[in-house]
Amino acid sequence: MKQFIEALVISAAIVGLCTTAGAQAASPVVKLRGDASLTHETGARFHVDTAFSTDTPGADLFTIQQAVVYFPDHAGTNGRFFPSCDAAQIERFRGNVRRCPQGSELGGGTVTAKALQIGVTATGRVRMFNSHRGKSITFNIQTLLPAYINESIDAPITQLHGTYGEKLTLVVPHSLQEIISGVFVGVQDFDVTLTGAVRRNGVTLPFLKARRCPRRAMHGVFDFKDWSSGQTASVTADAKVRCTLR
């Protein structure tokens, strides 16, 4: 199987060199969407969907290296009251996230990505955990095809002053950029929903403290690399958060 995949990679690389030599360089495109539901009883549910493409039809996706998302709400989180489960813990659990403390999971979603050199698209599962006592969110990503992946990433949350309240920084490890030797990943969609609540002294505390809908848009900065040319690019995207308050 490995030899077969390597043969496919070599063939794809040759074809890529032949077809892109005279082509105009493409640029990555990011579409960011957010929506929130706020209730006085259970706090906030926050959904973010990020779609990736290029400005050139038929061009390969870029490989994402880092995503920084700025949130407009200054309310912060109740993460210090939640159990924690960070990437190092999950690694000690051999990837078995069911061993994370009860109440540490904050939500999840899906990631859809393409192994560029072999043309295989797959959808994996994303689970999110409170970590470092609310100072970061840990993303656990699991897929079966085209390779088995079970990897966790700590994404720090930084409190800000001014236009934005917090930012979350997700640095993609190289093992998720190049999943098999010579096979790079182009993410098509990253869709997650953050929820989470914990009981303390008879009171329900939501992970997100938000009590009102944000007035400003959230902002994202995404850094990419093109596997074939070495070209790098940074793209920004903004999205007004659609919000309901009950």
- CA distance readout (Å), 194 to 4, 38, 44, 60, 138: 40, 12, 8, 30, 12
Report the C-alpha gap between 188 and 206 in whole angstroms.
30
The residue type of 107 is G
Arithmetic mean of pLDDT, 147-155: 96
Q: Output the pTM of the full model.
A: 0.87
pLDDT score of 19: 38
Quick check: helix, strand or coil at residue 102?
A: coil
Q: Report pLDDT for 30.
A: 98
DSSP string for residues in 119-144: TEEEEEEEEEEEEGGGTEEEEEEEE-
- The pLDDT, as a whole number, for residue 40 is 67
| Burial of residue 246, with CB atoms counted within 10 A of its CB: 0-12 exposed, 13-18 middle, 19 or more buried | exposed
Q: Report the pLDDT value the prediction gives residue 50, as an integer from 0 to 100.
A: 98
Give me the chain's average pLDDT, please.
Answer: 88
pLDDT digit string, tens, across residues 206-246: 898 887 888 889 999 999 999 888 999 999 999 999 999 87
* 41 pLDDT tier (thresholds 50, 70, 90): low
At 97-107, the pLDDT tens digits run 999 999 999 99
Residue 74 has what pLDDT? Answer: 81
List the domain boundaries for the chain. Answer: 2-245
Those residues with Cβ within 8 angstroms of residue 59's Cβ, 6 or more apart along the chain or in another chain? 23, 26
Do 141 and 153 touch, CB atoms closer than 8 A? Answer: yes
pLDDT of 25 reads: 81
pLDDT at 21: 37
In this structure, the number of other CB atoms found within 10 A of the CB of residue 16 comes to 16
Strands 28-39 and 241-245, by their bridges, are parallel
Nearest CA to 170 among 160, 158, 178? 158
The residue type at 115: A
Element holding 15 (H helix, E strand): helix 2-20
pLDDT higher than 70, residue 124: yes
Q: Note the pLDDT of residue 214.
A: 87
Specify the pairing of strand 183-194 against strand 197-200: unpaired
Has residue 9 got a pLDDT over 80?
no
Q: What is the mean pLDDT of residues 120-144?
A: 96
pLDDT at 162 over 80: yes
Q: Are 217 and 141 contacting, i.e. CB atoms less than 8 angstroms apart?
A: no
Residues 169-200 have pLDDT tens digits of 999 999 999 999 999 999 999 999 999 888 88
Q: Are strands 203-206 and 197-200 parallel, antiparallel or unpaired?
A: antiparallel
Alpha carbons 130 and 125: distance in angstroms, whole number: 17
